[in-house]
Amino acid sequence: MTQQNYRTRRRGLVTANYLSLLIVNVCFVFVYQQRGASHLIDAAGITAFIFVIATFIPAHVQSGLWKLTHTATGMLDERELQITHNSLSRAYSGFTVICLAIMMVHAVLYGLVPSLDFVISMPLVSSLIYLAHTLPGSILAWTEREVPGELS
Amino acid sequence: MKGRKIYNRIAVLRQEREISRKDLAEAVGVNFQTVGYLEREDYNPSLDLAFRISEYFGFPVEFIFSVEPLKPMSEVLQEQQKRDR
């Protein structure tokens, strides 16, 4: 596989992973609200959750992105330290914006539509924890030419 | 601030001595992908790494690294021979 193909595949898997995570959360909101809740939505939510796990392994674990952003700094060389530092700082600012945006949407919806029972649910919090851990690696999936799991 | 591009002769020296990227990486204490980045001049090494690489090849650091595009080694040797005469 060429370097370009590796990069396209890596980016595609990360996008699919986050899209399925989004579907899980949307399905949960529908089920929680009991608006049009059906076995179809249940099935879609469960399928999306399985897809999250299925894409997490090649996108983050096998590609080496997870290892790169979760290894002790003493085990990394100077270039790896530089790229992980950049990705962590970008991920930190991005994650903060996402969290604040969710809180703002929550506050606005709560004020505008009191009947809409929008809650910061368990799946949402779990997704945010997941996002906090995977976002630095996902940034590397976009910015880096090669990652440790892919041979040069 | 983005630094200047640093040119190097790592790829030529490595191929000349028939050393793999992995062996060079192990000798200088970096990941083998970092050697690839250095050879493509996509990454500027720290002073410490530059010295480790020059010590490994046994050449002065300014022979391996430069801020200007490097001449082929044959050309450098020819120039040196002319000077010696």
On the 0-12 / 13-18 / 19+ scale of CB atoms within 10 A, A3 is exposed
Asked whether residue A88 is assigned to any structural domain, the reply reads yes
The domain total for chain A is 1
Among chain A residues, CA nearest to B40: A145
Asked whether residue A108 is assigned to any structural domain, the reply reads yes
Share of chain B above pLDDT 70, in %: 99
Residues A90 and A117: their CA atoms lie apart, in Å, by: 33
Among chain A residues, CA nearest to B49: A78
Asked whether residue A135 is assigned to any structural domain, the reply reads yes
B21 or A148: which carries more pLDDT confidence?
B21
Q: What is the pLDDT of residues B28-79, one digit of tens each?
A: 999 999 999 999 999 999 999 999 999 999 999 999 999 988 888 888 888 8
CB pairs under 8 A between A and B: 29
pTM of the model: 0.81
Comparing C-alpha atoms, which of B12, B7, B13 is closest to residue B66? Answer: B7
Asked whether residue A148 is assigned to any structural domain, the reply reads no
- Report long-range pairs for A24-29 (Cβ below 8 Å, ≥24 apart): A24/A48, A24/A49, A24/A52, A24/A123, A24/A127, A25/A123, A25/A124, A25/A127, A28/A121, A28/A123, A28/A124, A29/A118, A29/A121
User: For residue A27, what are the domain limits?
Assistant: 3-142
Tokens of A53: 């796990």
Tokens of A150: 């892919």
User: Residue A1's pLDDT band (boundaries 50, 70, 90)?
Assistant: low
Say whether the ipTM exceeds 0.95.
no
**pLDDT (0 to 100) of residue B28:** 95
User: Residue A100's pLDDT band (boundaries 50, 70, 90)?
Assistant: very high
Instruction: Please give, rounded to a whole number of angstroms, the shortest distance from the CA of A123 to a CA of chain B.
Output: 37
**pLDDT (0 to 100) of residue A37:** 62
Asked whether residue A18 is assigned to any structural domain, the reply reads yes
Mean local confidence (pLDDT), A63-82: 92
Nearest-5° Cα angle at A124, A119 to A126:
135
SS3 assignment, position A35: coil
Among chain A residues, CA nearest to B26: A77
User: Residue A152's pLDDT band (boundaries 50, 70, 90)?
Assistant: very low
Least confident piece of the model among A7-16, A30-39, A75-84, A137-146: A30-39
* A34 phi/psi in degrees, rounded to 5: 55, 35
Whether A146 sits inside 8 A of B46 (CB atoms) is no
Q: What is the pLDDT of residues A17-33, one digit of tens each?
A: 999 999 999 888 888 77
Instruction: Please give, rounded to a whole number of angstroms, the shortest distance from the CA of B29 to a CA of chain A.
Output: 7
**pLDDT (0 to 100) of residue A149:** 64
Structural domains of chain B ordered from first start: 7-84 (1.10.260.40)
